[in-house]
Amino acid sequence: MSDMPNKTNDWFYPPEEIVKNAHVPDYEAVYARAQRDPLEFWAERAGELEWFEPWEKVLDDSNAPFYKWFVGGKTNIVHNALDRHIQTWRRNKLALIWEGEPGDRQSFSYYRLWQEVNRFANVLRSMGVKKGDRVTIYMGRIPELPIAMLASAKIGAIHSVVYGGFSEQALADRIEDAQSKVLITADGAWLRGKIVPLKETADEAVHRSPVVETMIVVKRTGQDVYMEPGRDFWYHDLVALPIASPTCETEVMDAEDPLFILYTSGTTGKPKGVLHTHGGYQVYTSTTLKWVFDIKDEDRWWCAADPGWITGHSYIVYAPLILGATSFMYEGAPTHPYPNRWWKMIEHYGITILYTAPTAIRGLMRFGDAWPNRHDLSSLRLLGSVGEPINPEAWRWYYTVIGKERCPIMDTWWQTETGGFMITPLPSVPLKPGSATRPFPGIEVDIVDDEGNPVSPGTDGTLVIKKPWPSMLRTVYGDPDRYVEQYWSKYKDKGYYLAGDSARKDEDGYIWIIGRIDDVIKVSGYRLGTAEIESGLVSHPAVAEAAVIGVPDELKGNIIYAYCILTSGFTPSEELNDELKQHVRHEVGPIAVPAKIEFVDSLPKTRSGKIMRRLLKARAMGLPEGDTSTLAD
Ligand code: WTA
């Protein structure tokens, strides 16, 4: 699937109603206009937000690839996401509607959310958290997660959210890299009717990375957890203190001051801390959400991602709030207690736009049409997809059974590093199932060969972004060399950004993403690095060496295969196989558990000692081995 672009050339035209009423009814015209003068275009977009002080320069490219946007501008993304709405009628509009997996519900008007954020921001400030300090957040999908993010940003701290599906070592590495003195977590999270023991994992991670001085714990599930005196505090106790007043001054930030670090998997070694800033990120995420999902005041927007990934950062937390939209967030599994959970909630809350991942669509499709058909889904007007290429079967099911052939599907290609949608239709753009269509206005992309020359239509090549954009990552936290090396070195002369994906363009200029060209595996839309899983495996005494690959899978997009060389004294067995899977679950997280572990005596390597994962993959898939000239015997 990820390796095979979905060839269909069927056109799907958006309903006239949608085109006529869209924020951008004419993509071509807006794209051409942005291309003529991108800086003027971005300045106009930025002008739709509030700034404490205007910028002097839209783009400073004097120290490329360390680009700066809206230079000299003073702002704070939380001012645009919350503070300014309190002065308008939106004060009483719903900002967030939330449903927990057990069925409990909460809703927050802009005013209430603003107050909650202020309370917690005051708590953090009183604990000595200052501008530039890093705060790690490790939680399930509960309202306190966006509240903690916004509270940190409000006082100028840099948040680093670690997805709640990661385990000890993954969390410890991220705490260590960010040098966070504060960790915000919960006693647990509900998932499939069970409790994910977040606090236990957090304790172990802090044991491994003792930089954390304070842990703040939200009571979500209510089971007994260990609380270390002097270090651990209950969230509800802190926000009840007199210090936690419902008003809090917003820190004035430079446009280029860091907003957050989000760790993502790369080609090698430890995860990369992708760094985003206040100014450009707020402009780009809000513009893309407004135009691509055509957000209107009457919408109920549901981005079903996790706030722990970039999709949630940009399109659950920041962009919808900046636009003054109403968002919905759900805590748990789509199939709990039955496979109609999502459809039931769409009906109940009158969701108008659903944005999710192909793997979720495929997962729900398996249960058949009867589940969605039991519900009135007529409130929906637009659908969205993200995370991996969507196969035509899933596309058609989504379009027909969920969208009743009325709702265009916005297939958005983007990355943690890009901050927002890069290649995506707008509601007015005719669709082809499986293609993310065309670049967003102001964005220039191409498919090139190894020399950086454009390949002809229909040919596979490397996807590059040709010009800087406001929400681009600014660096890899603490490792500027890695930033340059990873993203900008391959096409240095041309100044192209290397996305790490292969793609092709068809005769109509439509882009078809094929998949990653590096050692990143997309499992159920989650981005994992082979290196992280491999080091999880070799941290077990039985494993001397490990190699991990992604193999295409009907449901998950890719699944993980691991090849392990055992330490002498250990012998292959079913029990060891299970134990290693448990070990990875424990160390890295449930999403990183290999579907299959094979014990081998050797691994194919280049003469310079690099594992040839390409070869392992070809073998696993029964494909030709290709060029093996660099293989050491
Ligand atoms: C893949 C997720 C095809 C791609 C927002 C990219 C996609 C990686 C799509 C980034 C899409 C994301 N079609 N592939 N619509 N969207 N990808 O950083 O390989 O978790 O490089 O960001 O996901 O994953 P990340």
315 Cβ closer than 6 Å to some ligand 1 atom: no
CA 515 – ligand 1 centroid, Å: 8
What is the pLDDT averaged over residues 248-258?
Answer: 98
Q: How much of the chain, in percent, has pLDDT values that exceed 70?
A: 98
Assign 614 a pLDDT band (cuts: 50, 70, 90): confident
Instruction: Give me the helices (H) in 526-599, please.
Output: 530-538, 574-587
What is the pLDDT averaged over residues 378-391?
Answer: 96
| 230: Cα separation from own chain's centroid | 34
The predicted structure's pLDDT at residue 47: 98
Q: What 8-state DSSP symbol labels residue 592?
A: G
User: Using CA positions, which residue lies closest to atom 24 of ligand 1?
Assistant: 415
Q: Which atom of ligand 1 is nearest to the CA of 516?
A: 19
The predicted structure's pLDDT at residue 9: 66
CA 2 – ligand 1 centroid, Å: 11
> In a mutational test of the pocket of ligand 1, which residue from 522, 526, 556 has the highest number of ligand atoms less than 8 Å from its CB?
522
- pLDDT tens digits, 402-411: 999 999 999 9
Which residues in 545-554 are b (16+ Cβ under 10 Å) and which e? bbbbbbbbbe
DSSP secondary structure of 74-134:
EE-HHIIIIIHHHTSGGGGSEEEEEE-TTS-EEEEEHHHHHHHHHHHHHHHHHTT--TT-E
Assign 398 a pLDDT band (cuts: 50, 70, 90): very high
User: Using CA positions, which residue lies closest to atom 2 of ligand 1?
Assistant: 415
What is the pLDDT averaged over residues 76-96?
Answer: 98
386 Cβ closer than 6 Å to some ligand 1 atom: yes
What is the pLDDT averaged over residues 106-135?
Answer: 98
Query: Six-digit token pair at 80?
Result: 């645009």
The predicted structure's pLDDT at residue 1: 37
- pLDDT tens digits, 225-243: 999 999 999 999 999 999 9
Question: What's the pTM value of the predicted model, to 2 decimals?
Answer: 0.95
Is the pLDDT reported for residue 5 higher than 60?
no
CA distance linking residue 413 with residue 420, whole number of Å: 9
Instruction: Decide: helix, strand or coil at residue 348.
Output: helix
Q: Which atom of ligand 1 is nearest to the CA of 311?
A: 5
413 Cβ closer than 6 Å to some ligand 1 atom: yes
The predicted structure's pLDDT at residue 267: 64
CA distance linking residue 287 with residue 388, whole number of Å: 22
Assign 285 a pLDDT band (cuts: 50, 70, 90): very high
Nearest to 302 by CA among 360, 243, 256: 360
Which residues in 458-470 are b (16+ Cβ under 10 Å) and which e? eeebbbbbbbbbb
Nearest to 293 by CA among 343, 262, 327, 259: 327
Least confident of 161-165, 502-506, 628-632: 628-632
Is the pLDDT reported for residue 376 higher than 90?
yes
Least confident of 184-193, 321-330, 332-341, 531-540: 531-540
Q: What are phi and psi of 384, to 5 degrees?
A: -145, 160
CA 523 – ligand 1 centroid, Å: 11
- pLDDT tens digits, 590-613: 999 999 999 999 999 888 788 888
Is the pLDDT reported for residue 195 higher than 80?
yes
The predicted structure's pLDDT at residue 268: 63
What is the pLDDT averaged over residues 90-96?
Answer: 98
587 Cβ closer than 6 Å to some ligand 1 atom: no
501 Cβ closer than 6 Å to some ligand 1 atom: yes
CA 413 – ligand 1 centroid, Å: 6
Q: Which residue has the higher pLDDT, 1 or 255?
A: 255
- Which residue has 């059974």 as its token pair? 401
User: Using CA positions, which residue lies closest to atom 20 of ligand 1?
Assistant: 527
Is the pLDDT reported for residue 204 higher than 60?
yes
User: Using CA positions, which residue lies closest to atom 8 of ligand 1?
Assistant: 415
Least confident of 110-114, 471-475, 618-622: 618-622
159 Cβ closer than 6 Å to some ligand 1 atom: no
- pLDDT tens digits, 287-317: 999 999 999 999 999 999 999 999 999 999 9
Least confident of 61-70, 163-172, 178-187, 603-612: 603-612
The predicted structure's pLDDT at residue 3: 39
Is the pLDDT reported for residue 98 higher than 90?
yes
273 Cβ closer than 6 Å to some ligand 1 atom: no
416 Cβ closer than 6 Å to some ligand 1 atom: yes
Mean pLDDT of the chain: 95
What is the pLDDT averaged over residues 116-125?
Answer: 98
CA 97 – ligand 1 centroid, Å: 27
CA 511 – ligand 1 centroid, Å: 13
Query: Six-digit token pair at 500?
Result: 């790490």
Q: What are phi and psi of 152, to 5 degrees?
A: -60, -50
CA distance linking residue 164 with residue 201, whole number of Å: 10
CA 52 – ligand 1 centroid, Å: 34
436 Cβ closer than 6 Å to some ligand 1 atom: yes
CA 463 – ligand 1 centroid, Å: 12
What is the pLDDT averaged over residues 193-200?
Answer: 97
Query: Six-digit token pair at 359?
Result: 């793997």
